[in-house]
Amino acid sequence: MKILTEGYKYELENHEHPINVPNQTLQFIEKQPAPEMFPSGSLITVNEGTTNEDILAVLIDRMNYLQNKFSCRENAIVLTHLETALLWLGKRTADRKA
Specify the higher pLDDT residue, 17 or 64.
Answer: 64
Q: 95: number of CA atoms within 13 Å, CB side?
A: 6
Whole-number pLDDT of residue 84 = 98
Q: How confident is the model at residue 18 (pLDDT cuts 50, 70, 90)?
A: low
Q: The whole model's pTM is what? A: 0.81
At 92, which helix (H) or strand (E)?
helix 73-97
Contacts by 82-87 with C-beta closer than 8 Å and gap 24+? 82/56, 85/56, 86/53, 86/56, 86/57, 86/60
